């Protein structure tokens, strides 16, 4: 098993502030997918050592630009008085964790126990 070193945890926010008091009700699809959520892992192979944050700088910048276009992504879920879910668009941001692992994705895929990973 590869050793993983935690580098940092960041909150990414949009480059443009959201208008105060903006809410967005969940769509039918959002409601159907209520119990599911999305986590994304991005893996990069490094040829040389880089300082923490150097490799992810462009990703952070482009994510902040994207969040300006889709402010609902940076909000927080709330229940309305009727019991429905809505998103309060408040620029709370999205979480990003950066870590470094020894080894390669190819090595990990050869040794992964699929049942334990899911």
Write out the chain's pLDDT in tens, 118 residues. 567 888 889 999 888 888 888 898 888 888 787 667 667 777 777 767 777 677 788 889 999 999 988 888 888 888 989 988 898 988 888 899 988 888 777 887 788 777 776 6
pTM: 0.67
Sheet holding 85-89, edge to edge: 22-25, 85-89, 76-79
- 97 strand-pairing partners: 9
CATH of the domain at 78: 3.30.559.10
What is the residue range of 76's domain?
Answer: 4-117
Tokens describing residue 12: 């990414």
Q: What is the CA radius of gyration of the chain?
A: 18
**Domains in the chain, number:** 1
């Amino acid at each position: 098993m590869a050793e993983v070193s935690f580098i940092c945890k960041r909150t990414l926010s949009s480059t443009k502030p959201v208008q105060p008091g903006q809410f967005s009700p969940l769509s039918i699809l959002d409601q159907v997918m209520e119990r599911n959520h999305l986590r994304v892992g991005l893996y990069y192979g490094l040829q040389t050592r880089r300082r923490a944050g150097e490799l992810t700088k462009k990703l952070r910048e482009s994510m902040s630009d994207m969040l300006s276009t889709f402010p609902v992504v940076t909000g927080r879920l709330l229940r309305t008085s009727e019991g429905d879910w809505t998103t309060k668009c408040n620029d709370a941001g999205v979480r990003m964790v950066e870590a470094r692992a020894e080894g390669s994705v190819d090595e990990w895929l050869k040794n992964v126990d699929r049942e334990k990973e899911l």
